[in-house]
Amino acid sequence: MRVLLLADTHVPKRARQLPEQVWQEVEAADLVVHAGDWVAPELLEELEERSGALLACWGNNDGAELRRRLPEVARAEVEGVRIAVVHETGQSRGRDERMRAAYPDTDLLVFGHSHIPWDGTADGLRLLNPGSPTDRRRQPYCTYLTLTLEAGQVSDVALHRLPPRGRAG
């Protein structure tokens, strides 16, 4: 199963829309995972329409409508992989071990908030933050992640860099 990981899209505050490259990934993915900070519900609606399946939570910049429609922590078992999706995980120091303790029955934890890509492991828990496809903050690129889930395994994890806005890639 091909999975697309997104977080911190901040549409329409940081960008009017997701980049076309991301929409192509949405349509190619079997599952889209979004770790919060949507900002407005219109992107949620569009992702629900255009994705094969969506697993998502709300973030600290999401208002009442998004919090009503999405959980603080989204969970699913997909291809034998127990997934949790949450927006915030706290400071980076000690994150992997802290999240292993907080999510003992999870194989893959997807999170956002920092806009900084992260790929860590702690005693069997894989932690992934895709960064942001629309707001790079102090990072050199806007980013997202893709991966494969199959037979209880997470594989083919790839960080994708987006070209600077206004330029062809």
Return the pLDDT at 15. 85
Q: How many angstroms separate the CA atoms of 45 and 52, rounded? A: 13
53 or 164: which leads in pLDDT: 53
3-state secondary structure of 82: strand
Q: How many angstroms separate the CA atoms of 5 and 117, rounded? A: 11
Question: Is the pLDDT confidence value at 166 over 70?
Answer: no
Return the pLDDT at 138. 87
Return the pLDDT at 165. 67
Question: Is the pLDDT confidence value at 9 over 80?
Answer: yes
Q: What confidence tier does 21 reach under pLDDT thresholds 50, 70, 90?
A: very high
Length of the chain: 169
Task: State pTM to two decimals.
Answer: 0.95
Q: How many angstroms separate the CA atoms of 32 and 50, rounded? A: 10
Domain boundaries along the sequence of the chain: 2-162
Q: Quick one: how far is CA 44 from the chain centroid?
A: 13
Q: How far apart are the first and last CA of the chain?
A: 26
Question: Is the pLDDT confidence value at 45 over 60?
Answer: yes
Average pLDDT, the chain: 95
Q: What confidence tier does 167 reach under pLDDT thresholds 50, 70, 90?
A: very low
Residue type, 97: E
Architecture of the domain spanning 2-162:
4-Layer Sandwich (3.60)
Q: Quick one: how far is CA 158 from the chain centroid?
A: 13
**49-68: per-residue pLDDT in tens?**
999 999 999 999 999 999 99
Return the pLDDT at 168. 40
Give the CA distances from residue 168 to residues 6, 19, 80, 105, 163, in Å, rounded to whole numbers and listed in that order: 21, 11, 38, 43, 7
Question: Is the pLDDT confidence value at 147 over 90?
Answer: yes
Return the pLDDT at 91. 93
Contact 132, 142 (CB under 8 A): yes
Contact 143, 133 (CB under 8 A): yes
